[in-house]
Amino acid sequence: MLGITDLTQTRVYQEGKQEGLQEGLQEGQLRAKLEMISRLFSVGMNAEQIVQITGLEMTQVQEIITSLEDN
């Protein structure tokens, strides 16, 4: 029977842990971009300016701005 220490050494556990860390990092990066877009838009920048600053696609920025305007 595997103990906790043995379990954390398994390949499946390590892969799952790495996948979870990667997903968390990606979610954090997305939240940071959403916050940046919100702030840039709130100070009067338009979608084109936000695209230039963030490097995101115009469609992504427009969708986010639309959702901000709806709220």
The domain segmentation of the chain, as residue ranges, is 4-70
Burial 51-68 (b: 16+ CB within 10 A, else e): beeeebeeeebeebbeee
Q: What does the pLDDT read at residue 2?
A: 61
Q: What does the pLDDT read at residue 8?
A: 72
Using alpha carbons only, what angle is made at residue 34 by residues 33 and 37, rounded to the nearest 5 degrees?
85
Answer whether 54's CB lies under 8 Å from 61's CB: yes
The amino acid sitting at 59 is T
pTM: 0.67
Does the domain at residues 4-70 carry the CATH identifier 1.10.287? no
Dihedral sign, Cα of residue 24, residue 25, residue 29, residue 35: positive
Q: What does the pLDDT read at residue 13?
A: 80
User: Has residue 40 got a pLDDT over 80?
Assistant: yes
The amino acid sitting at 66 is T
pLDDT tens readout for residues 10-37: 888 888 889 999 999 999 998 998 999 9
Determine the average pLDDT of the residues in 50-69.
93
